[in-house]
């Protein structure tokens, strides 16, 4: 048990020594009032590098705190040791949060700046294109003179009009004569259809009357049978 504890303590102290440079950098980045001093970012690549470095330092700070916390439990003043470890981690995380905020702000501002540049470029291109179209020399419009309309023919003579009217009358008479057999056939078919409908109605009425008569006869027969049947007197049970 003691050997295992000594081994863990040695590993923890080794990790503390390995990460001491990172912790010293976190403390040195604070001014007299504890405000983080973050250098200005000048490019998106630099912002990405800062964020990557911040993530690495944050992980290292958490690992160092875990190691220091483990070492504190073997000391006499455990709480004092833990408070110092927590304070050191807090200072490092405050600085790293300031670094992340500055890098992310630069990336957002740079994205907005590039978007505005692209929008201005598009608007300028559209303006130049409109100016070029407006300045273009219009093509001459070819004026087409319409050809004079042909002279209208003179009106038809009286003989021509009479001949056309006679032809129309003759055509109408021929059409009526050809249509007469078809009209007579249609009328005959309609009359037959009406007669068939009347006959069907008669047959339906006759079948209904026959069914009603059969039903009445059955009902009368059943009533007569019921009236002629002897009454059944119930016999009391023997004691």
pLDDT score for 26: 40
At 189, is the pLDDT very low, low, confident or very high (cuts 50, 70, 90)?
confident
Sign of CA pseudo-dihedral 123, 125, 127, 130: negative
pLDDT in tens, 112-167: 999 999 999 999 999 998 888 888 766 666 667 777 766 665 677 888 888 988 99
**Structure tokens, 18:** 């390995």
Collapsing DSSP states into helix, strand and coil, what is residue 105? Answer: helix
Instruction: Convert 23-49 to b/e letters by CB count within 10 Å (16 or more is b).
Output: beebeebbeeeeebebeebeeeeebee
> Higher model confidence: residue 113 or residue 4?
113
> Higher model confidence: residue 238 or residue 76?
76
At 11, is the pLDDT very low, low, confident or very high (cuts 50, 70, 90)?
very low
**Has this prediction a pTM greater than 0.85?**
no
| DSSP 8-state code for residue 192 | H
Q: Measuring CA to CA, which residue among 97, 101, 91, 96 is closest to residue 41? A: 101
pLDDT in tens, 64-122: 999 988 889 888 888 999 999 999 999 999 999 999 999 999 999 999 999 999 999 99
pLDDT score for 13: 40
**Structure tokens, 136:** 């273009």
pLDDT in tens, 14-64: 433 333 433 344 444 444 445 677 888 989 999 999 999 999 999 999 999
Cα Rg, the chain, nearest whole Å: 58
Give the chain's length.
239
């Amino acid at each position: 048990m003691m050997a295992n504890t000594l081994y863990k303590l040695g590993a923890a102290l080794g990790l503390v020594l390995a990460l001491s440079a990172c912790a010293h950098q976190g403390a040195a980045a604070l001014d007299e009032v504890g405000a983080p001093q973050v250098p200005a970012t000048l490019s998106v690549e630099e912002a990405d590098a800062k964020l990557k470095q911040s993530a690495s330092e944050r992980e290292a700070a958490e690992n160092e705190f875990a190691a220091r916390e483990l070492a504190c439990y073997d000391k006499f003043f455990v709480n004092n040791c833990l408070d110092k470890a927590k304070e050191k981690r807090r200072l490092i995380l405050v600085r790293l949060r300031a670094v992340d905020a500055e890098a992310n702000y630069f990336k957002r501002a740079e994205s907005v700046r590039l978007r505005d540049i692209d929008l201005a470029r598009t608007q300028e291109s559209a303006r130049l294109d409109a100016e070029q179209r407006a300045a273009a020399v219009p093509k001459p419009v070819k004026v087409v003179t319409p050809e004079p309309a042909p002279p209208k023919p003179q009106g038809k003579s009286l003989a021509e009009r009479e001949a056309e009217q006679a032809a129309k009358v003759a055509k109408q008479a021929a059409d009526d004569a050809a249509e007469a057999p078809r009209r007579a056939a249609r009328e005959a078919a309609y009359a037959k259809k009406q007669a068939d409908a009347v006959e069907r109605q008669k047959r339906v009425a006759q079948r209904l009357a026959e069914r009603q008569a059969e039903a009445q006869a059955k009902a009368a027969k059943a009533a007569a049978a019921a009236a002629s049947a002897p009454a059944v007197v119930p016999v009391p049970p023997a004691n």
